[in-house]
Amino acid sequence: MQRMAKTLKARGDVQDFFEQGELVAVLTTQPLDRLLDYKAPEGGCWRGAYVEVPLGPRKVIGVIWGRGAGDFDINRIRTVSRVLDVAPMRDEMREFLTRVGSYTLTPMNAMLRLATRAPGLGDAPSMRKVYRLGSAIPNKLTDARARVIEVLRDYGGLSFTLTELAEMAGCGTSVVKGLVKLAAISEEDAPRDLPYPPLDPDYGGKDLSPDQTAAAGILRAKVRSNSYGTTLLKGVTGSGKTEVYLEAVAECLRQNRQALVLLPEIALTSEFITRVEARFGMKPAEWHSGVTMTERRRAWKMVGAGGAQLVVGARSALYLPYRDLGLIVVDEEHDTSYKQDDGVLYNARDMAVLRASLNGAQVVLASATPSLESWANADAGKYDKLTLTSRFGESVLPDMQAIDMRNEQVPSGRWISPTLRAAITDRIAKGEQSLVFLNRRGYAPVTICRACGHQIACDHCDARMVEHRFLKRLMCHQCGETKPMPATCPSCNVEGKLNPVGPGVERMAEEVTALFPQARVAVLSSDLFGSARAIKEKIEEIARGEADIIIGTQLVAKGHNFPKLTLVGVIDADLGLQGSDLRAAERTFQLMRQVAGRAGRAATRGLALLQTYQPDHHVIRAILSGDEDQFWQAEAAERRAAGVPPYGRMAGIVLSGPDVAQVFDIGTHLARHAEPLLRIGAQVFGPAPAPIARVRGRHRVRLLVKAEKTAPLQQALLQWTSPIKLPPNVRLSIDIDPQSFY
């Protein structure tokens, strides 16, 4: 351990060192509201060290947070069991967790759990077989054997696992094992958690357009500055934003700093990894729910040790223990999936800016349709802004037209207008692809009994169950509960009277198949695939042209490139405009522009047709006109006048419990004793039933707090809610900057 401490001190990873027996304060992942004092173990320990400590009869993971307070009898204080053999938590990471916890009103033990979500951190290092170039030269070299040896020679002495080497050489594992027998390759035991192969920033750069070149040059200069800054990279769909920010990643690698690229969907990860490998010669580290537990542990350890140069991941990748983070890219930064709505309630886009400011790193927020928050920050000069105005290569932006459904003759129980049907027929005749877009999963959102009017609802939630005909089940999209589709009405027991109301993508597939019986139809919806790999395979099939008509939810709107897709038909462009969500107009505008951008990404110009009953709605007009700045200016003016984000602050409070009267009583008490909020000029609305008033058997009551942008909202919220002693079966959650209001 002393040797480890010397090494870490030499690298600058160790600050305060505590000798054996000194008191240290440890933050654990257990639900405790304070630091715990322990004695430093034999050999000592240091601030930021990950440790295992005794807590009652168990041993738990923790981090040395500083010097112990010594408030207890020192003879009763226990000793740290051991220091884990991983890189210590750096000061900027401790500051980041503290700041996020303070902003989101999250206990620090929960923040530490978020930062240690890797299995086996306390396990002893294990070994695995790796392969490197051997000493012998085979007498007979097949093409496959030659490729394996060439890979090993190209990477100058690096070792690879069996699967990695076979995959890179494009051969089976038996070829590698055969070369081992011939001593052309050596098989060795090595630690399981190996560093990732180095990425080459000069490996596969592409020729960029003039505006791409200019934008990339600016980003490279920012990265070279080794200082904090945030840039909004705005570009129309297909403008090559990815290639531009990959140039910033390349510059970060040249500076020997680490880079992080956040993606909004796991389904996008596979395609993006392929692009990264083509650009840098090797695959990066991945961090998302689709990777194995072994790879999660390897990524976590190597990020902390500096053995991973680039991480591609979901929002939680922001909490990995980077040794020297120089760049964070938030791709599709407007996407709502960057907001975590359970556990620690944070927005990864905003926390990325905080993390970069603490690390002296650059942030690139990339989107064709930025969030109003990012637009406002760029408009105010807080963020720099780079704009790509044209598509890359030969492709041009699609034409966008509205189909006024008031003038269309659509049969009952059908949703595709004659105008859209004719356009799809024309594309099929030309050998081109069409996308029918409906942002609603399942077969039908409501199943109603025509005999008694009963609507089948979830037994545990205040929500209607959605029929998923492909799965032959009803599903609650709130809690995930499923049940078989009944033959008789659960209320009146009449048989044959249950009917679907409204369309989902599965029902659209049924209609499309009836209208175009010769067409090859593919459905893209997240609940129809068992894994990210299955989604990837279907997307690759579509990209190869193995479907004539694609029917999809918002999954298909995010970053996919289908070269033969020239027509996008939006079934219900008005769907997102319903309800009272303050972001309804913004999200509809973003989604429609994004999905329309899937059309015409190759040489043939695309067409986007929006079926709407409100063609004169200001959002629909803005979508069709393409005058984005005018839309953002108008949306910003409305939000500013209302004093809501990004020109004001909001917090959502949700009380939940099994007894609706009890939950309402607590909400009413809070509303009547809101003096700490009133003192900062805040307004309190509610209590009221949440739009989805019961989830998993728990009744939900909401209060909404609105305050001025500069108001000390978190402090007032703590003063307001801390005196409340909640019953054991009642939970209170506070969501700062809520993105949804369900």
User: Is pLDDT above 90 for 84?
Assistant: yes
Place of tokens 């969030």: 371
Which one of 107-121, 437-451, 556-570 scores highest in mean pLDDT? 107-121
CA dihedral over 456, 461, 463, 469, signed as positive or negative: negative
Q: Across residues 237-254, what is the average pLDDT?
A: 92
Q: Across residues 230-256, what is the average pLDDT?
A: 92
What mean pLDDT is reported for the chain? 88
Between CA 684 and CA 717 the distance in angstroms is 11
Which one of 24-28, 392-396, 625-629, 737-741 scores highest in mean pLDDT? 24-28
| CA angle in degrees (0–180, nearest 5) for 219-224-225 | 100
Q: Across residues 81-87, what is the average pLDDT?
A: 92
Distance in Å from the first CA to the final CA of the chain: 51
CA distances (Å), origin 289, targets 192, 296, 532, 719? 20, 9, 9, 37
**pLDDT score for 5:** 54
Place of tokens 């620090």: 108
List the one residue out of 415, 433, 416 whose CA is nearest residue 501. Answer: 415
Beta strands in 461-543 (DSSP E): 466-468, 473-475, 482-484, 498-501, 521-524
**pLDDT score for 301:** 93
3-state class (DSSP) for residue 742 = coil
CA 221 distance to own-chain centroid:
28
Domain formed by 649-736, architecture: 2-Layer Sandwich (3.30)
Domain formed by 2-115, architecture: 3-Layer(aba) Sandwich (3.40)
Structure tokens at 465: 């169950």
The DSSP H or E segment spanning 700 is: strand 698-707
- Per DSSP, what are the bridge partners of residue 313? 262, 287
| CA angle in degrees (0–180, nearest 5) for 545-549-555 | 90
Structure tokens at 106: 């999250």
pLDDT digits (tens, 9 = 90+) for 672-730: 999 999 999 999 998 998 888 888 889 999 999 999 999 999 999 999 999 999 999 99
Question: What does the domain layout of the chain look like in residue ranges?
Answer: 2-115, 127-191, 210-388, 399-440+503-635, 649-736
- The correct CATH number of 127-191 out of 1.10.10.10, 3.40.50.2300, 3.40.630.10, 3.10.690.10 is 1.10.10.10
Between CA 478 and CA 461 the distance in angstroms is 7
Place of tokens 């041009």: 396
Judge if 210-388 and 399-440+503-635 fold alike in CATH terms.
yes
User: Is pLDDT above 70 for 14?
Assistant: no
Between CA 681 and CA 685 the distance in angstroms is 13
**pLDDT score for 157:** 65
List the one residue out of 68, 72, 66, 30 whose CA is nearest residue 48. Answer: 66
Query: Taking the complete model, does pTM exceed 0.75, yes or no?
Result: yes
Between CA 352 and CA 320 the distance in angstroms is 12
**pLDDT score for 392:** 62
Q: Does domain 210-388 have CATH number 3.40.50.300?
A: yes
Question: Are 150 and 142 contacting, i.e. CB atoms less than 8 angstroms apart?
Answer: no
Amino acid at 208: L
Beta-carbon count within 10 A of 688 CB: 14
* Beta strand pairing call for 649-657 and 731-736: antiparallel
User: Is pLDDT above 60 for 412?
Assistant: yes
Which one of 321-325, 388-392, 434-438 scores highest in mean pLDDT? 321-325
Between CA 358 and CA 353 the distance in angstroms is 9
CA 349 distance to own-chain centroid:
10
**pLDDT score for 669:** 94
| CA angle in degrees (0–180, nearest 5) for 269-281-531 | 20
Structure tokens at 315: 């929002």
Between CA 243 and CA 212 the distance in angstroms is 8
Asked which of 198-207, 553-562, 622-631, 679-688 is least confident by mean pLDDT, the reply is: 553-562
97-110 burial: b if 16+ Cβ within 10 Å, else e? bebbbebbbbebbb
User: Is pLDDT above 60 for 12?
Assistant: no
Name the band, by pLDDT with cuts 50, 70 and 90, for residue 530: low
Q: Across residues 628-634, what is the average pLDDT?
A: 87
How many residues make up the chain in this entry?
A: 742
Give me the percent of the chain exceeding a pLDDT of 70: 94
Between CA 569 and CA 560 the distance in angstroms is 16
> Which DSSP letter does residue 135 get?
S
* Beta strand pairing call for 17-18 and 45-46: antiparallel
pLDDT digits (tens, 9 = 90+) for 115-130: 999 888 877 777 788 8
Q: Determine the topology of domain 399-440+503-635 in CATH.
A: Rossmann fold (3.40.50)
Give me the percent of the chain exceeding a pLDDT of 90: 51
Between CA 77 and CA 61 the distance in angstroms is 17
